[in-house]
Amino acid sequence: MTNSLDGERRLPRVAELAVTSMALVIVAGIYLAAYLPRQGPLLLPTALVAVSAALLLANAFILLRLRDFAWGRFFLVAGWAWLAYLLIAGMLEFVFLIDQTRGALLTLMTVILLIFSLDVPILLGFSVARYQGTANSQPV
């Protein structure tokens, strides 16, 4: 995180990584849904989910390295968003179970829901906190 000449803070591309990760799991979910009610091939969606999970982990690592950041605001926004998305993911998981989704398909869909329910709060929390001032900086 460096300062540019115009005074604007340079932050890592957390939002872009979160959106890319979300896009990959959305594509994987749509691909799987296209084959319902039968199970389609799992190789492509599994690869997409693996890349998405890697991006999510990289994003978490990048976020943890930020020092001069409005962490209080980030956790406030991300925490409430995470609670909301956990409720949504829980309802969707219940639908999968009621529809008798089993085995590898259920596992993959659960991982998709988990990644999505983490990406959105990270995106929202970062998008708000990046514009908040901290003790060592001015808001941008």
Q: In this predicted model, what pLDDT tens digit does every residue of 22-81 receive, in sequence order?
A: 999 999 999 998 987 788 899 999 999 999 999 999 999 999 999 889 999 999 999 999
Label residue 136 by pLDDT band (50, 70, 90).
Answer: low
Q: What is the pLDDT of residue 1?
A: 45
Q: What is the pLDDT of residue 8?
A: 61
Q: For a pLDDT cut of 90, what percent of the chain falls above it?
A: 74
Q: Is the pLDDT of residue 6 over 50?
A: no
In angstroms, rounded to a whole number, what is the distance separating the alpha carbons of residues 136 and 67? 10
If 0-12 CB within 10 Å is exposed, 13-18 middle and 19+ buried, where does residue 28 land? buried
Q: What is the pLDDT of residue 135?
A: 62
Residue 45: name the closest of 107, 130, 135 by CA.
Answer: 107
Average pLDDT of the chain, as a whole number: 89
Predicted TM-score of the model (pTM): 0.85
Per the CB < 8 A criterion, the answer to whether 3 and 10 are in contact is yes
